[in-house]
Structure 1
Amino acid sequence: MKRSFKYLTIAAMAISIVACKKKDETTVVEDNSSAVVENQTTPVGVDDHAGHEHATQEDAMLEEAQKNPLTTVALKESDFSFGKIKKGDVVSHVYEITNTGTKPLIISSVKPGCGCTAPDFTKEPILPGKSGKITLKFDSGDFDGNVAKAADVYANVEKAPIRIGFTAEITN
C-alpha cells in the first residue's frame, strides 16, 4: 500500500510539472448559428487519457455546471493578447460573457491550465440578456518569451467547458 501511494504521488508530481508546458490547437465550434472559438490545450508529453483522477474531477465539475437548465452564451472575445510585458509583471484581463438564452446562466467554476493564472468570475446567476465577467490574472514571473495560457469555464451550457485564453510576450 505504501509503495503504490509513493508511485501515485510521484506520478501526480510529474504530471503537474509537465502541465504548464502546453501546445495549443485552435478549433472552431458552431453553436446555434454563432461561431465560438476554443483553444484546445493538451499537456506536451502527456496522454490525454492517462489521468483518470483528472478526468473524474473534470467530469464532476461538468456535472455540477450542468445541473441547472441549460442556456446559451456569447463571449465578447475568447482570446486576448497582452502584447509585450516585463518579466515579473502581474496582469489581468476581463472577459465579458452574455447570457443569450432564456434561463439564468450559472458559472460554477473557472479552471486555469496552470498555477500562474488566477481566475475570478461572476458568482451570482446571470439573467437572460445580462452580462457577467470572468477575470484571468497572470503572473509572468516564471516565464520568458511568448506564452499562451487558457482556462476552462464550467457553466450550464450545452458545450461546456468554454475555453478562454490569452497570449503575452515576456521581455526582461
Structure 2
Amino acid sequence: MKKVLLITIILLNTVVFAQKGAKIEFKDKDNTIDYGTVNKEDDDGVRVFVFTNTGDEPLVITNVQSTCGCTVPSKPTEPIAPGKTGQISVKYNMHTGPIRKTITVESNAVNVEEGRIALKIKGEVIEKPVVNLLEKKKTSPMMQ
C-alpha cells in the first residue's frame, strides 16, 4: 500500500511540475546588465537583454515598460518560436550619476509568476574631465 501511495505522489508531482507552454530564460546573470562606470560622451546608453524561449509553444512579449521615462525599452514584435532567441533593447538617456532602473516584461511565459519578469540595469554615468591645454600647470613649492 505504501508503494502505491509513493508512486502516486511521484506521478502527481511530475504532472504538476511539467509545465507546457512558452518559457523565458535570460542570458544575463540575475537578469541584470551592469553598465559599469561609463563616460556620458562616449556611450549611447543602449544595452540588449538576450533571452531564449525554452518552452514548447511560441513566446509572446506583450508589454515592456520602465520605471521612468529616462529608460526606453523596445520589445520584439513577433512571437519567439520554441528554442529560438530574442532580445529586448534598453536605451538609458545617460544622465550623470548612478543608474538603478527596473524594466518589467509581460509575456505568456509559464515559468515566471503571472508571465512577468523584472530586468535591471545598473552602473554610473560620469562626465569626461575637461582638460584645458592653455591652462598653466601648477607646480608644487618643492619644485621651485
Q: Which has the higher strand share?
A: 1
| Whole-Å separation in 2 of the counterparts to 1:87 and 1:128 | 38
Equivalent position to 1:166, from 121, 139, 142 = 121
The residue identity in structure 2 corresponding to 1:114 is C
Q: How many residue pairs get matched?
A: 103
Match of 1:90, SS state, is: coil
| Residue equivalent to 1:3 | none
The residue identity in structure 2 corresponding to 1:112 is S
Percent identity of equivalent pairs = 31
Over residues 27-86 of structure 1, what are the superposed CA-to-partner deviations in whole Å (9 max), with x where a residue is unaligned?
A: xxxxx7xxxxxxxxxxxxxxxxxxxxxxxxxxxxxxxxxxxx842111101101111123
Equivalent position to 2:33, from 80, 98, 104 = 80
| Residue equivalent to 1:150 | 102
Deviation, 1:168, is 1.5
The residue identity in structure 1 corresponding to 2:122 is T
Compute the RMSD of aligned alpha carbons.
Answer: 1.8
Deviation, 1:99, is 0.5
Equivalent position to 2:71, from 99, 102, 117 = 117
What TM-score, normalized by structure 2, do the two folds share? 0.65
Match of 2:22, SS state, is: coil
**Unaligned runs of at least 5 residues, structure 2:** 1-16, 128-144
**Unaligned runs of at least 5 residues, structure 1:** 1-31, 33-68
The residue identity in structure 1 corresponding to 2:87 is K
- TM alignment of 1:120-135, pairs within 5 A: 120-135=74-89
| Whole-Å separation in 2 of the counterparts to 1:87 and 1:129 | 37
| Residue equivalent to 1:38 | none
The residue identity in structure 1 corresponding to 2:66 is P
| Residue equivalent to 1:17 | none
| Residue equivalent to 1:136 | 90
| Whole-Å separation in 2 of the counterparts to 1:138 and 1:80 | 12
